Chain A
Amino acid sequence: IAGITQAPTSQILAAGRRMTLRCTQDMRHNAMYWYRQDLGLGLRLIHYSNTAGTTGKGEVPDGYSVSRANTDDFPLTLASAVPSQTSVYFCASSDLSGGPYNEQFFGPGTRLTVL
């Protein structure tokens, strides 16, 4: 593994189903993030975690949950998917130990379609 990996690459999901998007990083970064990217709206933060064991809500958290049991993994769960959650999902990580310089490194993304 080099950098950040996400799985699956793409998924078509029936509305009402539960889905977990996986994200793993091997850079030992303390902070991790989940974004969704929709045409014309840019990247919107769903949830974040500044360190293992803690999580926080971003701009658009409703309908999503996260956990951060260890440094490397940061799964995103849709408890009951709805069509408005159709989007491209990016996981990112950064090293916040040095202060506010928050260069974020992104995974390749998961393209999710909810029908």
Chain B
Amino acid sequence: GQNIDQPTEMTATEGAIVQINCTYQTSGFNGLFWYQQHAGEAPTFLSYNVLDGLEEKGRFSSFLSRSKGYSYLLLKELQMKDSASYLCAVVDSNYQLIWGAGTKLIIKP
């Protein structure tokens, strides 16, 4: 079967760094997406990794290890507006996105 695992909820402090992990087992792999979803809103694109390594984009970075079936999203200099759910999704062999349940990130002052 296909499976994407993420922690259900994490809490962090404003100004700190947080790492959200995602492990996956899918039929084929054509890349991994991270999306951000604020409460009551639609998911929006954050990052895409298809090769191993770290992709940095401002305060957000995403890492992929295909051999380990593992990715993480790193958020630096946390701001209150970063309070949201973070969704990990893998592109499978049929080019469909397989979604994790999401990690709800709570930022405290």
A binding-site residues for B, Cβ under 8 Å: 40-45, 48, 58, 90, 96, 100-109
The 5 closest A-B pairs by CB, nearest first: A100-B30, A106-B42, A42-B101, A43-B99, A42-B99
B99→A106 contact, CB < 8 A: no
B44 interface contact, C-beta 8 A: yes
Total residues of chain B contacting the partner, CB 8 A: 22
Chain B residue contacts of A45, Cβ below 8 A: 96-97
Contact of A103 among B8, B45, B100 (CB under 8 A): B45
- Which chain A residues lie closer than 8 Å to B43 at the CB level? 43, 90, 106
Can you name 15 extra interface pairs (CB under 8 A) apart from A102-B97, A103-B48? A42-B87, A42-B100, A42-B101, A42-B102, A43-B87, A45-B96, A45-B97, A48-B96, A90-B43, A96-B95, A100-B31, A101-B30, A103-B45, A104-B97, A108-B41
Partner-A contacts on B (CB < 8 A): 4, 8, 30-31, 33, 41-45, 48, 50, 87, 89, 91, 95-97, 99-102
Please, how many angstroms separate the alpha-carbon atoms of A45 and B95 in the complex? 13
Distance (Å) between the CB of A78 and the closest chain B CB?
Answer: 21
Within 8 Å CB of B50, what residues of A? 101
Q: A36 CA to B101 CA in the complex, in Å?
A: 12
- CA A41 to CA B8, docked complex, whole Å: 10
- Minimum C-beta distance from A68 to chain B (A): 16
- The reply to whether B48 and A106 form a contact with Cβ atoms under 8 Å apart is no
| Residue contact A100 to B91, C-beta cutoff 8 Å | yes
Q: Nearest Cβ in chain B — how far from A65, in angstroms?
A: 19
B20 to chain A, nearest CB (A): 14
Q: Which residue of B lies closest to A45 (CB)?
A: B96
CB atoms of B42 and A108 under 8 A apart: yes
Q: In the assembled complex, which residues on chain B have CB atoms less than 8 Å from the CB atom of A44?
A: 99
A101:B97 contact, CB within 8 angstroms: no
B24 to chain A, nearest CB (A): 13
CA distance A58 to B100 in the complex (A): 16
